[in-house]
C-alpha cells in the first residue's frame, strides 16, 4: 500500500515538473512576441515593395534585413532560466523553417517561378508547420491554433483568385503575426510584473 502511494506521489511530482517546464517554455516563447510583430511588418513591406514592381528583390532583401534585425535584437533579449530540451527543439524548428522560407522566397523571386497562389500557399504552410509544431511541443493550444489558421489560409489560397489570395495572406499575417505577437508581448510583460511583485513580497 505504502509503495503504491509512493509511486503515485512520484508520478504527481513528475507531472508537476512537466507542467512547470511547459509553462516556462511558453514564457520563453512569449518573450519573442516582438519578433512575430517584426516579421509581420516585414511581410507587409515585402508585399508592398513587390507590388511596386520589384518582386525579384523585394522578398530576399526584406527577409535578410528582418533576419539580421531579429538576430541583433534577439541577442539583447535576456530570458531567465536555463535552456531546456523543449526550447532547443522549438529553436531548431524555427531556424529550419526560416532557412527553408528564405531559400524558397529567394530562389522563386530570382528565377521568376513565383505563381502567386502557390507561392503564398507554401509560405502559409511553412508558417503553419512552425507554429503548430511549437504549440504541440509546448502543449500551448493558442499557438497550435495559429498554425491551424495558417494552414486554413493555405487551403483558401488555392481556392481563390490571385487578388483574393493576396488578401487572405494579408489577413493571416495580421491575425497570426501582429495580433498573436502582441498578445505574447503583453502576456510576457504581465508575467514579468507578477514575478517582480512576488520577488518584492518575498524580500519584504
Q: For 59, what's the count of Cα atoms within 13 Å in the CB-facing half-sphere?
A: 20
Query: Residue 113 region, left (φ>0) first, then alpha (ψ -120 to 50), else beta?
Result: beta
Q: How far is CA 25 from CA 49, 84, 145, 163, in A?
A: 36, 8, 17, 39
Residue 125 · residue 166 · CB < 8 Å: no
CA angle at 31 for the pair 26 and 34, rounded to the nearest 5°: 125
pLDDT tens, N- to C-terminus, the chain (204 residues): 555 656 556 655 555 545 554 555 566 677 788 999 999 999 999 889 888 877 678 888 888 899 899 888 877 665 545 567 777 888 899 999 989 988 888 888 777 777 889 989 999 999 999 999 999 998 899 999 999 999 999 999 999 999 999 999 999 999 999 999 999 888 888 877 776 666 665 555
Sequence-distant (≥ 6) Cβ neighbours of residue 128 within 8 angstroms: 147, 148, 149, 150, 151, 153, 154
Amino acid at each position: 500500500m505504502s509503495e503504491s502511494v509512493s509511486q503515485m506521489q512520484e508520478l504527481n511530482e513528475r507531472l508537476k515538473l512537466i507542467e512547470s517546464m511547459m509553462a516556462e517554455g511558453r514564457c520563453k516563447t512569449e518573450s519573442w512576441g516582438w519578433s512575430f510583430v517584426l516579421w509581420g511588418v516585414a511581410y507587409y513591406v515585402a508585399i508592398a515593395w513587390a507590388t511596386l514592381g520589384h518582386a525579384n528583390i523585394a522578398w530576399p532583401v526584406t527577409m535578410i534585413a528582418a533576419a539580421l534585425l531579429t538576430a541583433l535584437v534577439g541577442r539583447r533579449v535576456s530570458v531567465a532560466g536555463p535552456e531546456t530540451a523543449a526550447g532547443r527543439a522549438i529553436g531548431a524548428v524555427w531556424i529550419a523553417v526560416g532557412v527553408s522560407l528564405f531559400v524558397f522566397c529567394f530562389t522563386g523571386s530570382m528565377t521568376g517561378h513565383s505563381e502567386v497562389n502557390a507561392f503564398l500557399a507554401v509560405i502559409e504552410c511553412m508558417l503553419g508547420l512552425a507554429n503548430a509544431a511549437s504549440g504541440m511541443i509546448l502543449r500551448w493550444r493558442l499557438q497550435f491554433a495559429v498554425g491551424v489558421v495558417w494552414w486554413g489560409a493555405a487551403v483558401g489560397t488555392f481556392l481563390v483568385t490571385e487578388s483574393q489570395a493576396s488578401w487572405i495572406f494579408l489577413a493571416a499575417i495580421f491575425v497570426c503575426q501582429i495580433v498573436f505577437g502582441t498578445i505574447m508581448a503583453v502576456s510576457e510583460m504581465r508575467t514579468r510584473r507578477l514575478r517582480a511583485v512576488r520577488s518584492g513580497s518575498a524580500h519584504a
